[in-house]
Amino acid sequence: MREIALPPQALPVPPDREGGGLYSWITSLDHKQIGMMYLMATFAFFIIGGAEALLMRTQLAVPNNTFLSPEAYNQLFTMHGTTMIFLVVMPMLIGFATYVVPLQVGARDIAYPRMNALSLWLLVFGGLLLYFSYLAGGAPNAGWFSYAPLSERPYTTTTGVDYWILGLLATGIGTIAAAINLIVTILTLRAPGMRMTRLPLFTWMVLVNSVLILCALPVLNASLVMLLIDRQLNAHFFAPQGGGSAILWEHFFWAFGHPEVYIMVLPAFGIISEVIPVFSRKAIFGYEFVAASTGAIAFLSLAVWGHHMFTVGFGRGGDLFFAVSSMLIAIPTGVKVLNWCATLWGGAIRFTTSMLFAVAFLAMFTIGGITGVSFAAVPIDWQVEDSYYVVAHMHYVLFGGSAFAIFAGLYYWFPKMTGRLLSEGWGKWHFWLTFVGFNLTFMIQHVLGMMGMPRRVFTYPDLPDWGRFNMISTAGAFVLGFSVLPFLWNVFASLRAGRPAGDNPWNAWTLEWATSSPPPEHNFDLVPPVRGRRPLWDLAHPDRPDPAPARLYGLGGRGPAPRPGDGAPEVSGPRLGMLCFIGAEAIFFVMLILAYVYYHSAAHTGVVAARVLDAGRAGINTVFLIASSATLWLGGKSLERRRGGALVAWLAATIVLGALFLVGQGREWLTLVQANVTVSRDLFGTTFFTLTGFHGLHVLLGLCLLAMLFGLAIARRFQGPTSAAIEAVALYWHFVDAVWIGIYSLIYLWALVG
């Protein structure tokens, strides 16, 4: 490795913390330890979710079985699905990203270390809260997608669904925080020379995936909140008997649910895009196309949720549009698969365990993808909806796809994380048992689904072949269950006495392999120069670096003049982080607004908004809030002129005006409640109080932030001319004001006009 000259003003690296000990792990802010804890926690949940599956398969092994009661079975399939999706696949991929992305971009740590720890512990506690439901009256039993009205109070009297909601809210907030963290890391903390077009594909896919998380998870959070309000406060969002719409729950949930499945698969694509080139000893074929198709998949995934609802009755027009857009998603996915195959072609393939899982991924995911495209044909969907064909499809893409990719990633990065190599012998046992068990379990379920076996049934009648096929599936499931044991043994034995891995056991080319295994706390002593997509290749082969990428056509002529300063970040970290958060919150509010609009435009039952709302009084409130934005802006100006006293005064004015707004809102609510307009009375009450209530909570949060700034300003901590903290809080406060202007126009002005 060539020596890199340190710049003259380089400072000595501070000594690392004293390591070791459970306490240092629990309080760790190091992205590597947090990433490993993600992997450990999610693997534990994987074992539990797998046990739930084995119990279900035991029940289904023979017809008319009595191993489990229907109630127990319902709880198991709900918990199995919820666990695998929210506590295993999604957080495991986030855990990989947390560990690998800062290393791959050459950063010292992730952008917000404390928020990173928060994400991890929200996952752990959200999962524990969800599982506590077993002890507290029964686990949720309405399916992992908890359709209304089954999940509403009259039909589910136990508290299981409430635990489901609260557990998912906790993990959902953690996931959004992780996405913000990753976006800011990738956009602002890259090593010099690592332009966005030189990003390793895993990092690029994590970036696109994080944007998708910001689009989709707030939709889930809003839906969960609305369901919780229905259940706990007797509201009527999704309860048909109160005028609500159960179909609306389906729309809201699948508007989250479909992007969610792509969130679970995009980082897996990233892992495969790292593993296949390294073990074929070839750079990936068609980098630009793999990157562009990732963006296309993410975008299209936001537009296809209707294909989960073909049996709801959209009408031909709606069905047709969703069918076409669902078929379109196959194109970018196919582009990726073909590029991976082209990478393999002509390469010097080395079948390590990681590569075995990656190649198996290609085949299994393609099978799952093809059955998925078959669902886009509406008549086929009508036949196989809610049958075992769906179960087979989803497991091929989620297990044969995401889980296989996760295993490939585990074998690939385990040496980096621990400094020890995993045994290839045990690894191959693990792979083959998994592969055989997986296919034995799920391939036959395609046939069962076609034969008409419905899903989520605790038993089935003794129809010809059903018993035999289910028995095969159960046998496969147990093989799959046992396949975990060689892996666990492998990990245990390697941690104790595995061969030392060295910096770069696979001779790979991305930056995480340019430091020791495991990396020191500060990640890199020296970051290699980045002049291409494979920095370590360029370093090892200075005579033949990676060729410049192929010429591509695109919109519009020559580019701008070359900029000096390779890939320097143009946007500040705190500002970007706050903008991401605002984006997520904006989508959250859009969902609540959509609910209001939906019910307001339907036939009016109950309260007519115009009769009870006082637009004038609310208008005065609005003036207070807008004025508070102005005073905060003036505070920012006085900071620019380094006038600390004026800053304190303007901050105080902002807080007072914000508090006046909240008082005004409280009075508005009191008036309405006294006129017997409550959350539970009718749809207007439900939607009005939810929307304005959440806005009020955001104002309250803003006031707390402003109070902190006020305290800091009094303590003369702001030197000026700029402050990232004030700028970030100002962005948030202006956003909250903008949302109120929208809400005011929508609710009060519309009531006056319409």
Interacting residues with other proteins (CB under 8 A): 4-5, 7, 187, 192-193, 195-197, 211, 215, 288, 291-292, 295-296, 299-300, 302-303, 315-318, 321, 324-325, 328, 529, 531-532, 548-563, 565-566, 568-570, 573, 590, 594, 597-598, 601-602, 712, 717-725
Q: What is the closest distance, in whole angstroms, from the C-beta atom of residue 526 to other proteins in the complex?
A: 10
- Burial grade of 660 (CB within 10 A; 0-12, 13-18, 19 or more): middle
CA distance to 487, 599, 612, 743, 747, per residue, from 596 (Å): 51, 5, 16, 10, 9
C-beta closer to other proteins: residue 5 or 135: 5
C-beta closer to other proteins: residue 214 or 367: 214
C-beta closer to other proteins: residue 293 or 483: 293
Gap between the Cα atoms of 739 and 630, Å rounded: 16
Q: What is the closest distance, in whole angstroms, from the C-beta atom of residue 310 to other proteins in the complex?
A: 15
Residue type for position 561: A
Q: What is the closest distance, in whole angstroms, from the C-beta atom of residue 474 to other proteins in the complex?
A: 42
C-beta closer to other proteins: residue 18 or 570: 570
Place of tokens 């705190």: 574
Q: What is the closest distance, in whole angstroms, from the C-beta atom of residue 227 to other proteins in the complex?
A: 20
Q: What is the closest distance, in whole angstroms, from the C-beta atom of residue 592 to other proteins in the complex?
A: 13
Tokens of 60: 């289904």
Q: What is the closest distance, in whole angstroms, from the C-beta atom of residue 542 to other proteins in the complex?
A: 9
Gap between the Cα atoms of 602 and 587, Å rounded: 23
Q: What is the closest distance, in whole angstroms, from the C-beta atom of residue 184 to other proteins in the complex?
A: 11
Gap between the Cα atoms of 746 and 272, Å rounded: 47
C-beta closer to other proteins: residue 216 or 625: 216
DSSP-assigned letters across all residues of 607-663: --HHHH--HHHHHHHHHHHHHHHHHHHHHHHHHHTT-HHHHHHHHHHHHHHHHHHHH
Q: Which of 439, 336, 401, 408 is nearest to 84 (CA)?
A: 401
C-beta closer to other proteins: residue 154 or 557: 557
Gap between the Cα atoms of 284 and 279, Å rounded: 11
How many CA atoms are closer than 13 Å to the CA of 389, on its beta-carbon side?
A: 20
CA distance to 65, 67, 69, 453, 584, per residue, from 467 (Å): 10, 15, 19, 11, 48
Judge contact between 88 and 504, C-beta under 8 A.
no
Gap between the Cα atoms of 385 and 374, Å rounded: 11
Tokens of 139: 């686990």
Which residues does 573 contact at the CB level (< 8 Å), separation at least 6?
111, 184, 188, 189, 724
C-beta closer to other proteins: residue 497 or 561: 561
C-beta closer to other proteins: residue 216 or 235: 216
Judge contact between 632 and 654, C-beta under 8 A.
yes
> What is the tally of helices (H) and strands (E) in the chain?
25, 0
C-beta closer to other proteins: residue 518 or 529: 529
Q: What is the closest distance, in whole angstroms, from the C-beta atom of residue 113 to other proteins in the complex?
A: 10
Q: What is the closest distance, in whole angstroms, from the C-beta atom of residue 564 to other proteins in the complex?
A: 8
Which residues does 209 contact at the CB level (< 8 Å), separation at least 6?
93, 97, 179, 262, 263, 266, 267, 270, 298
C-beta closer to other proteins: residue 157 or 745: 745
Q: What is the closest distance, in whole angstroms, from the C-beta atom of residue 193 to other proteins in the complex?
A: 7
C-beta closer to other proteins: residue 216 or 408: 216
CA distance to 162, 182, 636, 681, 699, per residue, from 732 (Å): 30, 20, 14, 33, 10
Q: What is the closest distance, in whole angstroms, from the C-beta atom of residue 97 to other proteins in the complex?
A: 19
